[in-house]
Amino acid sequence: MEQFSRLFRRMPEYRIMVCKECRFAVPPGQIRTHLTENHADIPVKGRREIADTVQDLDDLAQVKEDVIYPEASAAAVKGLPVHNDGFRCVSEDEHGKQCEYVCRTIQGIQKHCRREHGWVNGQKRGGNGQAKDKHPVNGLWQEGQSCQRFFTVSTWKRYFQVMRRERAPQEADSMVERGEAALDRRLGEIEEAKKRKEIEGNVSRYVTNGWLDVTGWDEHLKGFDREQLIELIRPAVGEEPEPPLQRQPQGFEEREGEEGLADACKATRRLIKRAIQTCRPNVVGKEALEHVNRREVGEQTNERPFYARQKVQTIRKYSDHWVKVLRYV
């Protein structure tokens, strides 16, 4: 129990245990994996004792549905990072109950509002992207919300809103609180630094980007905002995905005035499919296929013919990339 208390903080009000070093909660069933991956410096015997202690605790949620989350008006949970870039859904059900969904990406909140509340993006694609608002004007959410999460395990992961009152350092109750506040700010700065909002050129000699060197895409896109570029490659209205293998990509929304783009994307897919069917020795000849696959485009010899017997899934995957380029253009 002593080793457990040194590493974990029990929070029975939420039915969780938080790793003090990692600053997130660990599901009881994941305790051995967590110790092995994050605390390998602890001897095997010690890790086993901690795991046995966890199994004897009856105030921990064994399934994610049993976790108790704080109210949206509650203060931030101490010991956990606070993020101030959250998106909170403001929709209500027929009984007036507020939706509790919170996430940290515009794509995530749009997907939630589309699926759960029938939201449709009222902002059309096209025009001067930098002059337009970054997010749709008819969004069912609020931005810049403070939020936290208990778990990092994907099946248990959930953000929740918290209230956070910024205080000057001299107002802190103790040196410990000042230290925790400084640590939260520093962790937030580190996480923000990891979010590369703009495309960077191929400036690193340690990154293999030979294809980008040939096409010049990295230089062309350098300085553009990633979210604006994502808007430009999302499917147009009427561009139905081909069942059953291809699903609607994340961010698929119905918009008006894009029938021409949808027709062009469909025609491109048909063209690629027809080209693959044509790339056969009995149709164009082996010499033509060898010319297509000649050394200048990557092969080591000039005698190896182009291979055109990919599976349907592979062809559709390749087609998706070409269609994205078409949408951008």
Q: Residue 163: what pLDDT?
A: 85
Mean pLDDT of 113-133: 70
Q: How far apart are CA 65 and CA 89, in angstroms?
A: 20
Average pLDDT over residues 163-189: 61
Contacts for 102-106 with beta carbons within 8 Å, 24 or more apart? 102/145, 102/147, 102/159, 102/160, 102/161, 103/159, 104/147, 104/159, 106/135, 106/227
User: What whole-number distance in Å separates Cα of residue 228 and Cα of residue 231?
Assistant: 5
Please answer whether residues 19 and 12 qualify as being in contact, where contact means their C-beta atoms are separated by less than 8 angstroms: no
Query: Are 237 and 258 contacting, i.e. CB atoms less than 8 angstroms apart?
Result: yes
Confirm if 146 and 162 have CB atoms less than 8 A apart. yes
Is the pLDDT confidence value at 302 over 60? yes
Mean pLDDT of 230-246: 67
* Residue 206 to residue 227: CA distance in whole angstroms: 26
The whole model's pTM is what? 0.51
What's the mean pLDDT in 261-279? 90
With 80 as the cut, is the pLDDT of residue 83 above it?
A: yes
Asked if pLDDT for residue 66 goes beyond 90, the answer is yes
Find the range with the poorest average confidence among 221-225, 228-232, 254-258, 322-326: 254-258
Q: Domain locations in the chain?
A: 2-66, 83-164, 233-328
Are the C-beta atoms of residues 135 and 151 closer than 8 Å to each other? Answer: no
Q: Which helix (H) or strand (E) holds 8?
A: strand 8-11
Phi, psi of 142 (to 5 degrees): -115, 140
pLDDT at residue 26, as a whole number = 95
